[in-house]
Structure 1
Amino acid sequence: MKVKILFWIFAIIILLFLVVPVLNILTGLPINELILSLKDKSIINSILLTITLSLLSTTIVLLTGIPLAYIIARFNFPLKGLAEGIIDIPIMIPHVAAGIALLLSFGANGYFGEILKKIGITILDNPIGITIAMMFVSAPYLIDAAKEGFKKVDVRLEHAAKTLGAGDISTFFSITLPLAKKDIINGALLMWGRGIGEFGAIVIIAYHPMTATVMIYDRFTSFGLTYALPVTTILILVSLAIFTIARFINR
């Protein structure tokens, strides 16, 4: 058997494994029930809340994570490997454990929680808590993608810009960032999607207001699969639409 044919067989197997569950969800809800669900304000508000907070968390990490990614990509410094390991910790630990860790740090008795309390902010059952949870579990996707994007940029181009009189900031925004843009956008999309799908860390910190994933869990455990299916279907349809459009624009 030719290697090409063997690879096609394996490719089809994994594609079927990935697509069949999604198709079962998308075809499992009758059109009339889907239309009725689209009129359910609690479902729509939950999905809008999820998308908005995930976008907010992605924006915050874009502003703070890109400098970190650039430093790691361009400079050698003591404990650099440790810093890269710390970035990837949220990917490795169970997300329920991540929620507990965030609760200990940002909760009422945590170190950051004490600071937040002084300015009148609490993360429990608060959109701020949801945003923090989304940031923690999904930030590595954006930072790692930006880091790889910066590594692909030829350092000689930056040096050439500087010899022509450009400063460090000007070089970064006119040369480095545009050339790494595609990887950064892909990383941002991955982070945004990961935030939308997050459940474990969020449910520990904020059961209310309900994100879409928490609502799916709540309806499934309270009423069964039939009641959870509308939220699941709409969330998947909205996510597919958003990411298809975003990928098209990025290209």
Structure 2
Amino acid sequence: MLLLGAVLLGTVGLSAGSWYGGRGATPLSHDQTESIAAELLPDAEVTGGVMIARGYRYGTFLADDDFGSIHAEFQYGDRANCPLSDQLRHNAATRGWQGLHRLPNAPCDGLRVTRDGVTATLTHGTNGSRLSIAPSAPDGYLATTVAGTLLGAAAGAALFWLGVRRRRPVPILVVTLVAVGLFPGIALTWADLTDGLAEPVWPIWPALAPVLVPLWLVVLLAGFIVFARRRNAASARDANEVRTTETV
């Protein structure tokens, strides 16, 4: 039960920490993204115009200053152009970009580089190569996310420990309500963390609110019905014991 409470509320703390730590990201302008693309891939020809995408996940728009809120995408050709990775690697190294990170993929690996609060990611797919430019996570993002996770896990372990230790209907009902109500969001959050914290996971919770709130109400109603029946059964049992004693 301690582990269950730690996992449930720890995941909620992770989402809250990632939201709080991701605030303050500076959106990029159209001219700034075009300048970065020309710097990293000067010899590549862009197919079509620049696509500016606003962060929209699980039915929730991210605020302009949220991590992952806005990014620009540049398309290169209609098939994977693998030599672009070598071009980006060379230009990034000579122009002061840092954090060169290889992204294993098929048909060829992509790259991710960072500089001055900006992250550029090159990926290759069957429909062409794509360069995505977005604001990097603000300073302290990872520390805030970890702190939120630890605080949530500690609160969850303490709550579930108290609920089990008292062995009374109301605390057990609270523990059941929390476990059942949070489980859908917990499952989706961990399923979304397969790529790490490259994308914010907190929008899962606002999107699930219309479902989680009715679910909590149903579980709460069911709990009260069970609690009332147990009390009535206990009262009837006590009354029978009193009558039996008087008869004897």
Give yes or no for TM over 0.5: no
Q: Identify the structure with the greater helix proportion.
A: 1
Calculate the TM-score normalised by the size of structure 2: 0.25
Larger radius of gyration: 2
Q: Identify the structure with the greater strand proportion.
A: 2
Calculate the TM-score normalised by the size of structure 1: 0.24
